[in-house]
Amino acid sequence: MSRTILRGRVLSFVSEPQGIDDTASYRYFADGMVVIADGKVQSVGDFDAGVAGDAEIIDHRPHLILPGFIDLHLHYVQSQMIASYAGSLLEWLNTYTFVEEQKFSQQGHAGAVAAAFYDELIRNGTTSAVAYCSSHPRSVDAYFAEAEKRNMLMVGGKVMMDRNAPEALRDSAQSGYDDTKALIERWHGRGRGLYAISPRFAITSTPAQLEASRVLVAEHPECYVQTHLSENAAEISFSMELYPDSPDYAGIYEDYGLLGPKTLLGHSIHLNHRETQVLAETQSVAVFCPTSNLFLGSGLFDRERLAKAGVRIGIATDIGGGTNYGMLATLDEGYKVLQLRGQRLTPLNSFYMATLGNSRALSLEGIIGSIEPGCAADLVVLDASATPAMRLRMETVTSLVEELFLLQTLGDDRSIAEVYVAGARAKSTLGGL
């Protein structure tokens, strides 16, 4: 079996950091190596030339080698409408989003957008993501086909929506069920693809569609569930008008059996006490989408309250409500959102969230998100001196934590020196660079 050895400074988390000095939460090798065989990490540790044998050695010193970033919520079909000017969520959805997503009925459109979308993920160091496709099954085919071509672990699904959207985007409770069922059979577990059952949100699904979603979830417990929860005040009150018998917004999904350890709830900003308890009890995941929440003026995620209640938390870009493909920028904005809440997100916690934290949110620890023997060799190589401003600041950096904070605050795609997907170089081999 041929082996590749990456040499560099290696950082991988083993637990959630409990503070800025929690050195037990990670493993760090100042002159480390990652031995890769068959697309997986074979071993990790201090560099040892004796182990190299006939393996190819790729020297990334002085850069940092981390697990590839994981993005827990985004819409690949919104790639061509990022930066659309709107006052709030529902205006943005009706004016731009539902117009843009209609283009995915056209032959060839989904494939072209998917290819560009994956290039952008890789350019930004993201090796796995959880995405919404449009309501057209062909958008899902394009999404998973492109992932398979690139050997990436990707989660996604066809958005289901049977009301409060243009006719061209609407499915029905029955067709949404049938299409989802066929797509699960086609894509879940094929290559590294994993399916997410995706009722868009309560506003765009009738009770009949949420009932069909309940059946899908019961029939396919191996799949994820993704939807949106409590992003914006107008959205919440419209949802409660549509589901007057549910106690609150999270209660709608609870009533249809949609909460659980494989459920990802985008935004989860304005939750009441009961909702917080229900998310914790069902082990559902609240997904923090900071650039989107600021861009759409949706509100400030309350990480501390959710964490104290025992809610599992992930972090995501939410392209195209989100404004940046990069998890570095997402961590930066996340830090600022929490500053406005009077809460702190340590740099260790940030990078934990983008790697091991998000893999745990997907229950994929040991598969992605760590540099440990047996994990996929999905890796990102970070250069904290990628720009003149970063180089200048690096002259005064004296610790790993400071360097991480610099990376998230000033870093962008220029800081992504290389990306490996299943052990293969993915960034430097992108076309058009």
Minimum separation from the CB atom of position 216 to Zn ion (A): 19
292 is a site residue for ligand GUN (CB under 6 A) = yes
Question: Looking at beta carbons only, is 192 or 200 nearer to ligand GUN?
Answer: 200
In angstroms, what is the minimal distance from the CB of 362 to ligand GUN? 20
Taking the least distance from each CB to ligand GUN, the nearer of 134 and 385 is 134
Q: For residues 390 and 181, what is the distance between their CA atoms, to the nearest angstrom?
A: 49
Which among ligand GUN, Zn ion, none contacts residue 201 (Cβ within 5 to 8 A by kind)? ligand GUN
Q: Which residue is nearest to Zn ion (CB)?
A: 266
- Which lies closer to Zn ion via its Cβ, residue 89 or residue 114? 89
If contact means CB under 5 to 8 A according to the sort of partner, which of ligand GUN, Zn ion, none does residue 312 touch? none
Q: State which of positions 25-84 bind ligand GUN (CB under 6 A).
A: 75
| Nearest residue to 225 via CA among 132, 359, 325 | 132
**Positive/negative CA dihedral, 215, 128, 183, 78:** positive
Which residue is listed with tokens 């995915």? 104
Query: Shortest approach of Zn ion to residue 228 CB, angstroms?
Result: 6
Residues forming contacts to Zn ion in the complex (CB under 5 A) are 266, 318
Edge-first strand listing for the sheet containing 424-425:
40-46, 26-37, 3-13, 56-67, 379-382, 416-421, 424-425
Among residues 312, 358, 357, 350, the alpha carbon closest in space to that of 331 is found at 350
Q: Residue 346: name its binding partner from ligand GUN, Zn ion, none (Cβ under 5 to 8 Å by kind).
A: none
Residue 292 CB, nearest approach to ligand GUN (Å)? 5
Closer CB to ligand GUN, residue 93 or residue 345? 93
Cross-strand pairs, 4: 36, 56
The rounded distance, in Å, linking the Cα atoms of 293 and 303 is 14
Shortest distance (Å) from residue 315 CB to Zn ion: 13
Binding-site member from 109, 200, 220, 360 for ligand GUN (CB under 6 A): 200
Contact between 8 and ligand GUN by CB under 6 A: the answer reads no
Q: Does 138 bind ligand GUN (CB under 6 A)?
A: no
Query: CB-wise, 135 or 292, nearer to ligand GUN?
Result: 292
Residues 6 or more apart whose CB falls under 8 angstroms from that of 149 comprise none
Residue that is written with structure tokens 């995620």 in the block: 301
What is the spatial distance between Cα 415 and Cα 124, in angstroms, rounded to a whole number? 8
Residues 69, 177, 195, 201: which binds ligand GUN (CB under 6 A)?
201
Residue with tokens 């182990």: 51
Q: Segment 231-260, which members bind ligand GUN (CB under 6 A)?
A: 231
Cβ proximity to ligand GUN: between 17 and 321 the closer is: 321
Residues in contact with ligand GUN, counted by CB under 6 A, come to a total of 11
Q: Which residue is nearest to ligand GUN (CB)?
A: 321
- Between CA 380 and CA 383, with CA 381 as vertex, the angle to 5 degrees is 135
Verify binding: residue 136, ligand GUN, rule CB under 6 A: no
Q: Which of the stretches 89-97, 250-258, 335-343, 392-400 binds ligand GUN when contact is defined by CB under 6 A? A: 89-97
**What count of residues does the chain have?**
433
388-406 CB burial, b ≥16 within 10 A, e <16: eebeebbeebeebbebbbb
What is the Rg, in whole angstroms, of the alpha carbon atoms belonging to the chain?
21
| Residue 158 binds which of Zn ion, ligand GUN, none (CB < 5-8 A, kind-dependent) | none
Give 3-state DSSP helix, strand, coil % of the chain, rounded to 5: 40, 25, 35
Distance CA 57, CA 75 (A): 37
Using CB under 6 A as the binding rule, whether residue 158 contacts ligand GUN is answered as: no
Residue 228 touching ligand GUN (CB under 6 A): yes
The H-or-E segment that residue 75 falls in is strand 69-75
Nearer residue to ligand GUN within complex by CB, 159 or 362? 159
Using CA atoms, how far apart are residues 156 and 152, in angstroms rounded to an integer? Answer: 12
- Residue from 97, 124, 134, 209 touching ligand GUN (CB under 6 A): that is 97
The first and second tokens of residue 114, run together, are 């998917």
**Residue 321 binds to ligand GUN (criterion: CB under 6 A):** yes
Of 137 and 321, nearer to ligand GUN (C-beta) is: 321
Binding site for ligand GUN (CB under 6 A): 75, 89, 93, 97, 200-201, 228, 231, 292, 318, 321
